[in-house]
Amino acid sequence: MSLLNVTDLDVRFALRQGEVRALRNVSFSLDRGERLGIVGESGAGKSVAAFSLLNLIAKPGFIAGGSIRFDGQELNGMSERCLRKIRGNRISMIFQDPMMTLNPVLSIGEQMVECLKAHRRISSREARTIALHKLQQVQIPSPETRLDQYPHELSGGMRQRIIIAIALLLDPDIIIADEPTTALDVTIQAEIMALLLELCEKHNVGLILITHDLGVVSQVTQRMLVMYAGRVIEEGPTREIINDPQHPYTQGLMNALPQMATPGERLNQIPGSMPSLSKLPSGCAFHPRCGFVKRADGQPRRACHDVIPDFVESGNCRVACHMVAEMLNGEPSLAKEETP
């Protein structure tokens, strides 16, 4: 049994024009100290997945079903009171934009101390000592002065270091990092990522890294999920997926990397764009953009249009694709769920 087990997570948004399903049948697990990457285009549901783990999705979003088991407890349906004891304490988060994440009118020290005091019965002085220690761990110069400074007095990279320090304050089991380096200067990105990796390894903290940077995923994580239109479409050891992507979408992502293009020619891209969640195509949501909806002999593969693909095992990976299933088994895989 892993530390975190997410099964068939189903998240919906109750909009005026009806319910939109932001996540469907998302399942994954995370072992203690393991690092998992979640990749996909914008709008694939990566952040929704991250926020729904701690039930932090904003209204009108809600968890419609599924199970989130963490260390023997079920988080889906848990009371706000009990969830609060887990948030920031056993599972903490790092947000995307360090310029927006810290409260502008509270000092760094206050924002660190309040977090400690929310979870432990300790004096302000003890809390300050712990905060200072964590600031040293994230290699902030002159941490003592930082405690009394306000966010606007610090640079973006510095603020993200402080947010990492806050995430580590209570020695959590898991850190969920939602695109932690996207908003940073390119030169700072590598530094912050290296720091995060180092601290997670050192303290044996599990990491769920949400990003669209495949380079970062391959350097940092051991396993990865590829998401498309609210579903997981490929899952497995990072190395295997990066070296030999099975799903046409993952292959497209790899090909789109600038390194994959021939110098002097146009960059590769996946034609079209991610469908709106309220108007998902029938069958496999990727089929309108997929180059494999026709078989090698030119015959269309009906299943791609009609049936949502189920996972098939391919080596150590799981892939949700009719084409892959056909190559492996000689017949298309049928989903549990029919097309709506």
Partner 1 sequence: MIAFLTKRLMHAILVMFVISVLAFAIQGNLGDPIQQMVGQSVPESEREALRERFGLNDPFHTQYLRFAANALQGDFGFSYFYREPALDVIARHLPATLELVFGATLIIVLLSVPIGVYSAIKPRSPISRFFMGVSIIGISVPVFLTAIVLIQIFSIGMTVSLFPQDTAWGSWLNGFLSTEGGMPSFGRGQDLTHMVGYWDSNLFTLGGLRHLALPSIALASIMLPLFIRLIRAEMQEVLQSEYVKFARAKGISLRRIYFVHALKNTLLPVITVGGVQIGTMVAYTILTETVFQWPGMGLMFIDAINRADIPLIVAYLMIVGVIFVVTNTLVDLVYGMVNPTVKLTGKPA
Binding site for partner 1 (CB under 8 A): 54, 56, 58, 80, 84-89, 92-93, 95, 97, 100-107, 114-115, 118-119, 150, 152, 163, 166
Tokens 């393991």, residue located: 34
Q: What is the length of the chain?
A: 340
Report yes or no: 38 and 210 within 8 Å, Cβ to Cβ: yes
Nearer to partner 1, 48 or 226 (CB): 48
Q: What is the dihedral of CA 177, 183, 188, 194, to 10 degrees?
A: 10
Nearer to partner 1, 211 or 246 (CB): 211
Q: How many Cβ atoms from other residues are within 10 Å of residue 8's Cβ? A: 13
Nearer to partner 1, 97 or 244 (CB): 97
Cα–Cα distance for residue pair 195/191, rounded to 1 Å? 6
Nearer to partner 1, 159 or 287 (CB): 159
Q: Give yes or no for a cis peptide into 60 (omega within 30° of 0).
A: yes
In the complex, least distance from residue 162 CB atom to partner 1, rounded to whole angstroms: 11
In the complex, least distance from residue 220 CB atom to partner 1, rounded to whole angstroms: 21
Nearer to partner 1, 79 or 259 (CB): 79
In the complex, least distance from residue 10 CB atom to partner 1, rounded to whole angstroms: 22
Nearer to partner 1, 87 or 231 (CB): 87
DSSP secondary structure of 148-201: TS-GGGS-HHHHHHHHHHHHHTT--SEEEEESTTTTS-HHHHHHHHHHHHHHHH
Cα 276 to Cα 117, 128, 279, distances in angstroms: 42, 47, 5
In the complex, least distance from residue 1 CB atom to partner 1, rounded to whole angstroms: 25
- Tell me which DSSP letter residue 76 carries: T
Q: How many Cβ atoms from other residues are within 10 Å of residue 276's Cβ? A: 10
H helix or E strand, kind and range, residue 218: helix 214-220
Report yes or no: 69 and 75 within 8 Å, Cβ to Cβ: yes
Cα–Cα distance for residue pair 271/81, rounded to 1 Å? 46
In the complex, least distance from residue 91 CB atom to partner 1, rounded to whole angstroms: 9
Nearer to partner 1, 70 or 292 (CB): 70
Cα–Cα distance for residue pair 24/231, rounded to 1 Å? 5
In the complex, least distance from residue 157 CB atom to partner 1, rounded to whole angstroms: 17
In the complex, least distance from residue 311 CB atom to partner 1, rounded to whole angstroms: 31
Nearer to partner 1, 85 or 295 (CB): 85
In the complex, least distance from residue 166 CB atom to partner 1, rounded to whole angstroms: 7
